[in-house]
Structure 1
Amino acid sequence: MLELRLVQGSLLKKVVESIKELVTDAKFDCSPTGFSLQAFDSSHLALVSLLLRSEGFHHYRCDRNISMGMNLDTVAKMLKFAGHDDIITLKADDASDSVTFMFESPRQDKSSKFEMKLMDIESEHLGMPEAEYHAIVRMPSVEFSWICKHLSSIGDTVVISVTNENEGVEFSSTGDIVTANSVYKHNTTVDGEVNVEMNEPVSLRFALRYLNSFTKASPLSTTVTLSLSSELPLVVEYKIAEMGYIRFYLPPKIDED
């Protein structure tokens, strides 16, 4: 038996909105310790990893490990029926091929119920070992979203650099006519603090269309963490209150092509 009750139902709506552009069909894994997801985008290049710990739910019951395959566009359409302050409950029996979504207003004067067929989705769970990165950048999520959006009007890729010279983090993009460079200094305040830790200088190029997709998770957290290393994919992480996180992994582009 699975039963999850989330008083802050808007959180689930934000989670689904943040990943449905990347992932069409996803398998959510539920265990006694939490609700998680790991899935690649259609090109098998970007990876999204989600964790919502059991203690963050108002009520959490999961008698045994269960996997639920869902179409995220369908889930997003259902969640449109939930008000911003609605309480959301998910229920599924152990042997069931469907999951029930229930939305209740805080005053319990309105409720909606949906039953959705589950999908059989094959996926491989990848272990993500802890690694030491060359540089870690923490900055306001709205600022990261802003710079990615505006650099997209210049070029298709962005070079993210953390070096001794820039004393912070630099975002640069080159188009046919214009080259743009923006530097955020360590510990400056731009609607929040920018913190840069550098173990080794690093400068890597990434596709902006993916980064702009990742920034759809900005409503989940005021801060974003970028972990960079020349040997590892970029990790873009948004903490979800005290519940967990959503992480996006993206390998750097080898060249401009």
Structure 2
Amino acid sequence: MLEARLREAALLKRLLDSIKELVTDANFECNEEGISLQAMDNSHVALVSVKLDALGFQRYRCDRPIPLGVNLASLTKVLKCAKDDDICVVKCSDDADVLNLTYEARSSDRIAEYDLKLMDIDSDTLGIPDTEYDARVTMPASEFTRIVRDLSQLGESVRIEVSKEGVRFASDGEAANGNVLLKQTESAREKYKDYGKDQEEPEPKEEGDDDDDEPKEEDDEDREEGSSKGKKKVKKEKVGGKVKKEAADDVDMDDADEDEDKEKSDDGEEEKDSDDEDSSSKKRKRPTTNGKPAKKAKKGEQGGAPADDGGVFIEMNQHVALTFSLKYLVNFSKSQTLSNTVQLMMSSDVPLLCSYKFGQGEIKYYLAPKIGEE
């Protein structure tokens, strides 16, 4: 029995759009660790490997390993019937010949169910050996997409060269030639140095971290921000020539407030104190959540990928230059919808590894280099 509940159907849509032009029929292998797919294109030049981790689902259950043989074009049509924000539930019973997909709308009580016929597909899972690559380039996925699409207008192949100068993409066509050089930036070095090794992204600096430089207005302000629950501000208003204090429940009166009560006989000083508190309260007006200063939104995409800022990070053991088909690279670049960041890993006479990490898992493409065109 398989039951997998996804928060949004958009993930499966983007995933299918990334691989449907490379692969026609494929087996989704389901087990207790998650759902995976591995398939080659018809010409056996490119291989795609997809992994959806079980922890990324709202609910996941798989009693025993189940292969789901599907036609990707048919599955794409069924997924188009779902809205991007619909909750998607995938179910399949043991030895069943259909795959059930249920779409639950968030904004209404609408529930749609579709059954997709499964296929018997004979496919061997290839053992992909661990490879120590000579060069690793981490760059924004949008930049990679732009480069391969631009160069595909000129020729059919692209030469990717990684050197101390940077990474260069060059294409020679019948009517025109073109090349793009991307140099490494220091900001990208800091941003990408742990990408692919540790999914956790460093906690960004909070807005409130610079508050130490501000002068401390009064002691009760410090205690107000340091309290676990957060104390509410005491309101003052003048009633009949006297200052009346209104406070909500759980307000602690500090020594400074008690001193103010003793000085109520002097109206001039009370008005001055009231004005001082109003000015200090303006300084304290910051967006809060549960009594604490709001944090900046985390940069980057799902899965801890850094934000797309145009930086390039290069790790190189030796100079590498290989030639690849642009048609396949353009297809690979469609995974930009899944992740902001792409990694290109290269070694001489070894297939290129093009990897996209996202919150739910990872998609990898392997492409054999062209021989005799370097």
**Normalising by the residue count of structure 1, what TM-score does the alignment of the two structures yield?**
0.96
The alignment status of 1:211 with 2:329, answered yes or no, reads yes
Structure 1 residue 191: Cα displacement: 3.0
Q: Distance in 2 between matches of 1:163 and 1:240?
A: 28
Structure 1 residue 192: Cα displacement: 3.1
Q: Which residue of 1 aligns with 2:20?
A: 20
Of residues 165, 168, 187, the one that matches 2:166 is 168
The alignment status of 1:253 with 2:253, answered yes or no, reads no
CA contact (8 A) 2:349 2:369 kept: no
Q: Which structure's residues are more often strand, by fraction?
A: 1
Farther off after superposition, 103-112 or 79-88: 103-112
Q: Which structure's residues are more often helix, by fraction?
A: 2
Amino acid at match of 1:235: L
Q: Which residue of 2 aligns with 1:194?
A: 312
Q: Distance in 2 between matches of 1:128 and 1:74?
A: 28
Structure 1 residue 110: Cα displacement: 1.6
Amino acid at match of 1:248: Y
Runs of 4+ in structure 1 over 6 Å off: none
Q: Distance in 1 between matches of 2:108 and 2:3?
A: 19
Structure 1 residue 112: Cα displacement: 1.2
Amino acid at match of 1:56: G
Amino acid at match of 2:363: I
Amino acid at match of 1:156: E
CA displacement 1:105-127 (0-9 Å, x = unmatched)? 11342221111110000111112
Of residues 336, 339, 362, the one that matches 1:221 is 339
Q: Distance in 2 between matches of 1:45 and 1:108?
A: 46
CA contact (8 A) 2:9 2:79 kept: no
Q: Distance in 2 between matches of 1:145 and 1:111?
A: 36
Q: Which residue of 2 aligns with 1:51?
A: 51
Q: Distance in 2 between matches of 1:144 and 1:191?
A: 13
**What residue ranges of structure 1 are gaps of 5+ in the alignment?**
none
Q: Distance in 1 between matches of 2:54 and 2:130?
A: 22
Structure 1 residue 228: Cα displacement: 0.5
Q: Which residue of 2 aligns with 1:183?
A: 181
Q: Distance in 1 between matches of 2:319 and 2:373?
A: 21
Q: Distance in 1 between matches of 2:77 and 2:123?
A: 24
Amino acid at match of 1:251: A
The alignment status of 1:69 with 2:186, answered yes or no, reads no
Count residues with an aligned counterpart.
254
Q: Distance in 1 between matches of 2:373 and 2:49?
A: 27
Instruction: Look up the SS of the partner of 2:344 in the other structure.
Output: strand
Q: Percent of aligned pairs with the same residue?
A: 47
Q: Which residue of 1 aligns with 2:103?
A: 103
Instruction: Look up the SS of the partner of 1:232 in the other structure.
Output: coil
Q: Distance in 2 between matches of 1:45 and 1:175?
A: 22
Structure exhibiting the larger radius of gyration computed from Cα positions: 2
Structure 1 residue 168: Cα displacement: 1.3
Matches within 5 A, 1:233-248: 233-241=351-359, 243-248=360-365
Q: Distance in 2 between matches of 1:192 and 1:87?
A: 33
Q: Distance in 2 between matches of 1:119 and 1:215?
A: 28
